[in-house]
Amino acid sequence: MSMDAVSVIRTKRDGGELSAAQIDWVIDAYTRGEVADYQMAALNMAILLNGMERHEIARWTAAMIASGERMDFSSLSRPTADKHSTGGVGDKITLPLAPLVAACGAAVPQLSGRGLGHTGGTLDKLESIPGWRALLSNEEMLSVLDGVGAVICAAGDGLAPADKKLYALRDVTGTVESIPLIASSIMSKKIAEGTGSLVLDVKAGSGAFMKTVEDARELARTMVGLGTDHGVKTVALLTDMSTPLGLTAGNALEVRESVEVLAGGGPADVVELTLALAREMLDAAGLTDADPAKALADGSAMDAWRRMISAQGGDPDAPLPTSREQHVVTAAASGVVARLDAYDVGVAAWRLGAGRARKEDPVQAAAGVELHAKPGDRVTEGQPLLTLHTDTPERFEYALKALENACDIAAQGAEFNRTPVVLERIA
């Protein structure tokens, strides 16, 4: 044996740089099953604690791309544009965004994932629609893209299989927040996917994996650099995740809210971010004359949504699941909501059944948290503030513990400044 997992782990544990040969070997060996989950978990933790240099991240990403196939969308008549979010609470933006951009003339090959920790997963959300399928063959994916213009599906087994294993492992080993692992995970899939352009939604705040704008900026610059180096036109928006996006956190709850946006309504922050990302995607794809706001208003985005859901086996008219049990949390005082912590809300939704503690766990389609007020809103004592949804009421007590310090209510007349949704653009 020329290499072994323990030596690679020790190198990074002791603060050293992994060589190109070490990276290539450990990614390949883990993909083949020669390196065990517990060994890769130890290496992931060493990377989280000690970091990686730029050249290490680039090689790690290239090794994950090389672990599988690369897709080719050159046969499509439309330019391709994709988007990726680093994850947040109530982040349902992909659902209205993909059909909206398709309605404006681009092809959106959206490869999405499952929930990670306290953040929701796009595939988990869409699977609350009866009949909808996340798993498509490459041929099916290309067919939906050609016919509809947008597809949201899981990455196939052949696309960056190393990342598929690492993605699930990071969720259950406390290593999600590592910038090198996040950047390489996202960009290996996106580069292997073959999209012509990519817009990144990099979130900062309590509900994001990057808690500070500085860390989010570092992650964004790392990913923009990786994309550019591989010939993919890449831009990033830094967006706020100190407060949940929209008024829902949970699977079916977020689908329902996304449909409201496509129907011309929905919460203002969800609409604002959807349109901002749509404009970036269309600009990157060369469709500078397209107007996504018009596509929302005239119903063409909704038409694209219905076609996309139907093409993947779903029934866009079927009723979404609703929870068997609800619990209302009321305002403890009258005043102005000064803070509603995204992380606490995300943990509560996870504890209610919307997320998973182990990678093999199922999720409840109807579980989650519904918000009745956001920062800046006036409330009166006893007014409903949150509604908790679950099929298993024994979860309420545990979820409520997560919300004990989630909300601050200031006195009436207190000064309040809303944080903008889009904080910064990095290209």
Task: Please list the active-site residues.
Answer: 84, 163, 170, 185, 189
Rounded Cα distance between 56 and 16, Å, is: 11
Pairing of strands 197-204, 108-112: unpaired
Rounded Cα distance between 125 and 118, Å, is: 14
20-32 and 54-66 helices, crossing angle to 10°: 40
Q: Do 225 and 198 meet the contact criterion of CB atoms below 8 Å apart?
A: no
- Nearest CA to 403 among 357, 350, 359? 350
Q: Which residues contact 42 (CB under 8 A, 6 or more apart)?
A: 9, 13
Rounded Cα distance between 424 and 120, Å, is: 23
Note the residue count of the chain: 427
Beta-bridge mates of residue 269: none
Q: Do 221 and 97 meet the contact criterion of CB atoms below 8 Å apart?
A: no
Please tell me the number of Cα atoms within 13 Å of 415 on its side-chain side.
Answer: 0
Q: Do 199 and 81 meet the contact criterion of CB atoms below 8 Å apart?
A: yes
Rounded Cα distance between 156 and 355, Å, is: 22
Beta-bridge mates of residue 116: 119
Rounded Cα distance between 324 and 4, Å, is: 51
Rounded Cα distance between 344 and 392, Å, is: 20
Q: Do 332 and 381 meet the contact criterion of CB atoms below 8 Å apart?
A: yes
SS3 13: helix
Beta-bridge mates of residue 110: 152
Q: Do 108 and 301 meet the contact criterion of CB atoms below 8 Å apart?
A: no
Q: Do 402 and 349 meet the contact criterion of CB atoms below 8 Å apart?
A: no
Rounded Cα distance between 85 and 75, Å, is: 27
Q: Which residues contact 2 (CB under 8 A, 6 or more apart)?
A: 25
Rounded Cα distance between 343 and 308, Å, is: 31
